Amino acid sequence: MNRGLRAERRLRFSVHFSFALCLLGLSANLFASQDIAYDGKHVCEGIEYFHKQVPDVPWSIHVVRIERARSDFQLLTTMPTNRAVGLTLTTEQLKAIPPSVGEPIAAINGDFFSWPKGAYQGDPAGLQIIDGEMVSAPPHSRESMIHGSPANAVCFWTDAKGNIRIDKVASNLEVTFPNGAKLPVGLNQNRTNTTAVLYTSAAGSSTRMTNGGVELVLEKNGGDWLPLVPDETYSARVRNISSRNTPINADTLVLSIGDKLLAKLPKLKKGMAVRISTVISPELKHATAAIGGGPQLVHDGKLTKIRDDKRNPRTAVGYSKTHLYFFVVDGRRKGISDGMTFEELAKEIAWWGCDEAMNLDGGGSATIWVDGKIMNQPSDNKERAVANDLVVVRKR
């Protein structure tokens, strides 16, 4: 890059940054009096990275600011590189994004996930949508499903028109049998003796279930079929009945039913027709990407009240009318950054002008990636494998 171009970019970043400070009603003298250090990087047209350091606490805060009006940017979510529930590094998930989709520019780690080792280690706690397909569901509105989460979880999503939203969501996924019996179901997660789970190919090559129960292999029975999308009704027919670890392919679903639910259902047999409903509340019919988390930190420009007095590494996503923001605060690193409470994080996010914001998985998972590099200092001293990521790509 020639010197003239470097100088132009430095000047352009300086102008953008100074303008942002003016919008926030802050002056350079105020920053100096608080001994706050800033470093910034013009990543590409429409995306900037900031590193804010507050030595008195200390805090190390990483922020990516993205212009929402850019039609060449797209938000998407990722999962492990074999496109199945599990855990892999953020950097590995980004490498697996097909070049035809676009070039990854910035990313943060996503939802909380099941941690104990087992068949479904890495199962996201909430909703996830990839390119319109629902691969994980939020907790069910009728009962606490696998994660023991409240009936409503917080979710960030975007639709085909680029509209973004943060709100509480709940699942109403259910399967209806010929006699009218309705069975609430989870999606691509561990199944117990008292629950039922619907599996798609996003779960992997099989259900991985070995603890009894009955598994129904479902095929298309007229009308729309896969991929599974929110707020649709699917007609299916039982192709086969199995007892454990049933294979899954791109053209089938598997309904795994715990032993203690079977008495409430009609006699299960091949050829039986069932109806699958994928209703999510509120409606997400045209959502193209979604990722779960919580709690909500900012709503309508106001801080939400959350009881939390512990400082930890944090990851969050927020937005204003003009920009989308990725946030990561380092923590558990003595002399570098203590981490933040939820209240401190909400105040920081509001300072940047966000109208809405939500927390994502933090701790050792907290990761922010910009232009090919991890920018923060993870508390494990290395990048941790995570269940999913929120990514902005520049479309080809």
Phi, psi of 182 (to 5 degrees): -115, 130
Q: Does the pLDDT at position 25 exceed 50?
A: no
- Co-location of 340 and 207 in the same domain: no
- Co-location of 201 and 269 in the same domain: yes
Residue 10 lies in a domain: no
- Co-location of 305 and 212 in the same domain: no
Which pLDDT score, from 0 to 100, does residue 82 have?
A: 74
Residue 139 lies in a domain: no
- Co-location of 230 and 261 in the same domain: yes
Residue 158 lies in a domain: yes
- Co-location of 158 and 301 in the same domain: yes
Residue 67 lies in a domain: no
Provide the domain limits for residue 232.
174-278
Q: Tokens standing for 26? A: 């802050």
- Co-location of 162 and 299 in the same domain: yes
Ramachandran category for residue 198: left, alpha or beta (phi over 0 → left; psi -120 to 50 → alpha): beta
- Co-location of 115 and 249 in the same domain: no
Residue 201 lies in a domain: yes
Q: Does the pLDDT at position 3 exceed 60?
A: no
- Co-location of 352 and 383 in the same domain: yes
Residue 142 lies in a domain: no
Q: 288 with 159: CB under 8 angstroms?
A: yes
Considering only CA atoms, which of 382, 393, 375 is closest in space to residue 315? 375
| Domains: count for the chain | 2
Q: Does the pLDDT at position 90 exceed 80?
A: yes
Phi, psi of 324 (to 5 degrees): -105, 145
Which pLDDT score, from 0 to 100, does residue 115 have?
A: 81
Average of pLDDT values for 363-388? 96
Which pLDDT score, from 0 to 100, does residue 309 have?
A: 87
Q: Does the pLDDT at position 116 exceed 80?
A: no
Q: Does the pLDDT at position 74 exceed 50?
A: yes
Residue 284 lies in a domain: no
Which of 230, 250, 278 corresponds to the end of one domain? 278
Phi, psi of 94 (to 5 degrees): -70, -35
Q: Tokens standing for 200? A: 């798609």
Which pLDDT score, from 0 to 100, does residue 20 have?
A: 43
Helix (H) or strand (E) holding 8: helix 3-23
- Co-location of 80 and 157 in the same domain: yes
Which of 278, 303, 323 corresponds to the end of one domain? 278
Q: Does the pLDDT at position 395 exceed 50?
A: yes
Which of 218, 251, 278 corresponds to the end of one domain? 278
- Co-location of 319 and 263 in the same domain: no
Residue 370 lies in a domain: yes
pTM (2 decimals)? 0.89
